[in-house]
Structure 1
Amino acid sequence: MTRLDRYIFRQLAVALLAVTIGLAALVWLTQSLRFIELVLDRGLSFLVFIELTGLLLPSFFAVILPITTFVVTLFVYVRLSADRELVVMRAAGLSHWRLARPALLLALISVGICYVLALWLVPASQAAFRAWQFEIRNQLAAILVQEGVFSSVGDDLTVYARYRDRDGTLRGILLHDARERGAPVTILAEAGRITPGPNGPRVTLENGERQQIERVPPPAHAPPGTPPTTRLTVLSFSENSVDLARTSRGTGEGGDRYRNAQERTIDELLHPDPADRVPERDLRRFKAEAHQRLATPLNALGFGLVALATALSGQFRRHGGGLRLFTGIAVVIVLLALGLMTGNLAARQNAMIPLIWVNALAPGLLAAWVISGMPGWPRRRIRPAQQGQASGPA
C-alpha cells in the first residue's frame, strides 16, 4: 500500500468507525426504550437491562455496516474531489481503479465483518436474547407479579393482586388468560400463592370463580349464514391452579421454546432437525433466511462500488454535483427496498431465492462497469462541422 493509499484509507477507516458506532448507538437507544419497563415496572436491575439490550447490537451492526460503508466512501471521495485532490491525482496519471483501491479494501473488510456477524455473532446473540427474554417473561413470572399492578406475563396472560402478605400470599387476585384462542378465561380469587411447577411457576388460587366465554356454533336446524353465539360459563371453586410459565406463543411441545430463523445457524436453517417438526411455512422461511445471510454481506462491497461510481464518474464542484449525489443515494435506497421485498418474496416462495443473489451482486457489477468507463456503451460521435464549431475561430 502506497502513501497515497494509506492517506485515503485512513480517512475512510476513521470515518467508518465513527459513523457506524454513532449510528448503532442511536438505533440501540431507540430500540432499547421498549425494555425500560423491565427496570422501572418489574424490579430488574439496570445491569440486566444493559446486558439484555447489548445482545441486540450485533444485529444492528450487520444492518448498518453496508449503509455506512456507502455513506463514508461517497463523502470522502466527494470531499477529495471538491478540494481538487482527485484532480491532482488524475493529473499524476492515476486511473479510476487506482484511486478506488483504498475504498475497495475498506469494503472488503466490511464484507468480512458482515460475514462474521451474519454467520456467527447475530444467531448466537439472538438466541441468547430470546432465551433471556423468554425466561424473564415466563420462568421469572413470580417476581414480575407485583401488588396493585396489572402485570403482563407474556403477551396473553395478565395477573393482578390487590396486595401481598408478608408470607407471600396474594390477596384479591384477578387473572385474565387469553392463551386459548377464542376462549379467554377470567378468574377471580380471594387468595393465592405462587409455587414452583414442572414447567415453571404456577399460582394456586383459593375460593374463587372462573368465567369463560365460549363461542357456540348455531344448531343444525338454523338457517344458513347464522352467526355463532357466545356463552358465558361460570364455575366456582375452592382451589385451582394456573401455570404461569406456559404461553401459547413461542413454545413447542412440552413447553420448550420454539427457535425462530434468526436464532438458528446456517446448517440448522438448511437442514433442520426432523424432531423439531418444523412447519412447511417455516421451512421455506428458513431456506430464504440462509441465502439472505450468505448474500447480504456482499451489499457492503456493492454499496461501496456504487459510491465510487457516483464520485469518480463525474466532476464535483464546491457548489455543484448535487444531482449526481442524489442519484447515488436514491440508488442505494431503492436497493435497500428491493432487498426487503426480495427477502419477503423468497420467504413465501423459495423459487424467488435467486432474486436475493441478483440484488446482492448486480449493483456491484453494474457500478464496476461504470467505473471502468462503460465499455461497449454506444457513444455519440461528433460530426466534423460540430467539431469545427466547438473549436471556434483561431
Structure 2
Amino acid sequence: MTRLDRYIFRQLSVALLAVTIGLAALVWLTQSLRFIELVLDRGLSFMVFIELTGLLLPSFFAVILPITTFVVTLFVYVRLAADRELVVMRAAGLSQWRLARPALALAGLAALLCYGLNLWLVPSSQAAFRAWQYEIRNQLAAILVQEGVFSSVGDDLTVYARYRDPDGTLRGILIHDARERGAPVTILAEAGRITPGPNGPRVTLENGERQQVERVPPPAGAPPGTPATTRLSVLSFSENSVDLARTSRGATAEADRYRNAQERTIDELLHPDPADHVPDRDLRRFRAEAHQRLASPLNAIGFGLVALATALTGQFRRHGGGLRLFTGIMVVVGLLAIGLMTGNLAARQNVMIPLIWVNALVPGLVSAWVIGGMPGLPHLRRPRRPAAGPA
C-alpha cells in the first residue's frame, strides 16, 4: 500500500469507526427504551438493563456497517474532490481504480466483519438475549412481584400484593392463574412468602380461599344441543402453595423455548432438527434468513462501489455537484428499501431467494462498470463547430 493509499485509508477508517459507533449508539438508545419497564416496573438493576440491551449491539453493527461504509466513502472522496486533491492525484498518474483501492480495502474489511457478525456473534448474542429475556419475564417471579403492582408472569399468570413487610412477607395477595386452559383459578390470601422450589419460585400462602370456574358438561340423557354450564368452586385453606414458574403449554424450562430465526446458526437454519417440528412457514423463513445472512455482508462492498461511482465520476466543487451527490444517496436508499422488500418476499416464497443475491451483487457490478468508464457503451461526442471563414 503506497503512501497515498495509507493517507486515504486512514481517513476512511477513522471516519468509519466514529460514524459506526455513533450511529450504533443512537440505534441502541432508541431500541433499548422498549426495555425500560424491566427496570422501572420489575425491580431490575440498571446494570442488568445495560447487559441485556448490550446483547443487541452485534445485530445493530451488522445492519449499520454497510450503510456507514457508503456514507464514509462518499464523504471522504467528495471532500478530496472538492479540495482538488483528487485532481493532483490524477495528475500524478493514478487511475480510477488506483484511487478506489483504499475504499475497496475498507469495504472488504467491513464485509469480512459483517460475515463474522452474521455467522457467529449475532446468533449467539440473540440466543443469550432471548434466553435472558425469557427468564426475566417467565421465571424470575421473585423479583417481578412488586407491592401495589399487578405483576404479569408470562401471559396467563398475574400476581398482586398490597404491600411487602421488611422481612419479605407479602400481605393482601391476589393470584389469577389461567395456565390451565378452560379452568382459571383466582386465589386470595392474607399473607404469603416467596420460596425456592424444585421447578422455580413458589409462593406459600396463608389464610385464604381458592376460587375456580369449572365447565360442567350436560348430564347424561340431556337432549342434544344442551349447552354446558359453568360452576364456581370455592375452597378455603389455612396454607397453600402456588408454583410461579411458567409451566403452561409444556414450557417447563428454557430448553423448551422455541428459538426464532435470529437465534439459529446457518446450519440450523438450512437443516433444522426434525425434533423441533418446525412448521412450513418457519422453514421458509429460516431459508430466507440464511441466504440473507450470507448475502447482506456483500452490501458493504456494493455500497462502497456506489459511493466510488458517485464521487470519482463527477465534478465536485465546494458549491456544486449536489445533484450527483443526491442521486448516489437516493440509489442506496432505494437499494435498502428493495432489500427489505425482497427479504419479506423470500420469507414467504422461497422461489424469491435469488432476488436477495441479485440485490447484493448487481449494484456493485454496475458501479464497477461505471467506474471503469462504462466500456461497451457508445459515447456521444459533441459535434465540432465549423471554422469561421475569412470575412
What is the TM-score with the length of structure 2 in the denominator? 0.87
Match of 1:235 in 2: 233
What pairs up with 1:114-263 in 2 under 5 angstroms? 114-165=114-165, 168-177=168-177, 187-205=187-205, 207-210=208-211, 234-238=232-236, 242-246=242-246, 251=251, 256-263=256-263
Q: Cα gap change, 1:108/1:182 in structure 2, threshold over 3 Å: closer, same or farther?
A: farther
What pairs up with 1:216-365 in 2 under 5 angstroms? 234-238=232-236, 242-246=242-246, 251=251, 256-365=256-365
* Cα distance per residue 1:220-257 (max 9 Å; x no partner): 779xxxxxx99875332235655432266994899721
Asked if structure 2 preserves the Cα contact closer than 8 Å seen for 1:251 and 1:258, the reply is no
Aligned-partner SS, 1:160: strand
Greater displacement, 348-357 / 241-250: 241-250
Q: Cα gap change, 1:357/1:251 in structure 2, threshold over 3 Å: closer, same or farther?
A: farther
Asked if structure 1 preserves the Cα contact closer than 8 Å seen for 2:153 and 2:246, the reply is no
Q: Distance in 2 between matches of 1:148 and 1:392?
A: 97
Letter of the structure 2 residue corresponding to residue 237 of structure 1:
L
Deviation at 1:45, TM superposition (A): 2.4
Match of 1:6 in 2: 6
Aligned-partner SS, 2:246: coil
Asked if structure 2 preserves the Cα contact closer than 8 Å seen for 1:203 and 1:241, the reply is yes
Q: Distance in 2 between matches of 1:378 and 1:181?
A: 73
Letter of the structure 1 residue corresponding to residue 235 of structure 2:
F
Match of 2:385 in 1: 388
Percent identical across equivalent pairs?
82
Letter of the structure 1 residue corresponding to residue 291 of structure 2:
H
Deviation at 1:273, TM superposition (A): 1.3
Letter of the structure 2 residue corresponding to residue 290 of structure 1:
A
Q: Cα gap change, 1:254/1:334 in structure 2, threshold over 3 Å: closer, same or farther?
A: closer
Letter of the structure 2 residue corresponding to residue 208 of structure 1:
E
What pairs up with 1:358-373 in 2 under 5 angstroms? 358-373=358-373
* Cα distance per residue 1:144-198 (max 9 Å; x no partner): 1011122232345332111234564433223345667898765544444434444
Q: Cα gap change, 1:248/1:58 in structure 2, threshold over 3 Å: closer, same or farther?
A: farther
* Cα distance per residue 1:258-301 (max 9 Å; x no partner): 11111111111111111222222211111111111111111100
Letter of the structure 2 residue corresponding to residue 122 of structure 1:
V
Gaps of 5+ in 2: 218-222
Deviation at 1:96, TM superposition (A): 1.1
Letter of the structure 2 residue corresponding to residue 210 of structure 1:
Q
Greater displacement, 338-347 / 7-16: 338-347
Aligned-partner SS, 2:385: helix
Q: Cα gap change, 1:198/1:347 in structure 2, threshold over 3 Å: closer, same or farther?
A: farther
Q: Cα gap change, 1:11/1:166 in structure 2, threshold over 3 Å: closer, same or farther?
A: closer
Q: Distance in 1 between matches of 2:61 and 2:49?
A: 19
Greater displacement, 198-207 / 353-362: 198-207
What is the TM-score with the length of structure 1 in the denominator? 0.87
Letter of the structure 2 residue corresponding to residue 234 of structure 1:
L
Q: Distance in 2 between matches of 1:99 and 1:201?
A: 64
1:43 and 2:43 aligned: yes
Asked if structure 2 preserves the Cα contact closer than 8 Å seen for 1:145 and 1:159, the reply is yes
Letter of the structure 2 residue corresponding to residue 331 of structure 1:
V
Deviation at 1:311, TM superposition (A): 0.6
Q: Cα gap change, 1:296/1:193 in structure 2, threshold over 3 Å: closer, same or farther?
A: same
Q: Cα gap change, 1:196/1:94 in structure 2, threshold over 3 Å: closer, same or farther?
A: same
1:19 and 2:16 aligned: no
Q: Distance in 2 between matches of 1:158 and 1:257?
A: 21
* Cα distance per residue 1:181-219 (max 9 Å; x no partner): 8987655444444344443224455633536598x9xx9
Q: Cα gap change, 1:370/1:38 in structure 2, threshold over 3 Å: closer, same or farther?
A: same
Q: Cα gap change, 1:319/1:50 in structure 2, threshold over 3 Å: closer, same or farther?
A: same
Q: Distance in 2 between matches of 1:157 and 1:56?
A: 28
Aligned-partner SS, 1:148: coil
Asked if structure 2 preserves the Cα contact closer than 8 Å seen for 1:138 and 1:200, the reply is no
Q: Distance in 1 between matches of 2:48 and 2:148?
A: 24
Greater displacement, 176-185 / 331-340: 176-185
Letter of the structure 2 residue corresponding to residue 133 of structure 1:
Q
Asked if structure 1 preserves the Cα contact closer than 8 Å seen for 2:246 and 2:252, the reply is no
Asked if structure 2 preserves the Cα contact closer than 8 Å seen for 1:213 and 1:230, the reply is no
* Cα distance per residue 1:90-132 (max 9 Å; x no partner): 2222211111000000000000000000000111111111111
Aligned-partner SS, 2:234: strand
Asked if structure 2 preserves the Cα contact closer than 8 Å seen for 1:185 and 1:213, the reply is no
Q: Distance in 2 between matches of 1:317 and 1:250?
A: 67
Aligned-partner SS, 2:378: coil
Match of 2:220 in 1: none
Q: Cα gap change, 1:367/1:167 in structure 2, threshold over 3 Å: closer, same or farther?
A: same
Q: Distance in 1 between matches of 2:2 and 2:29?
A: 40
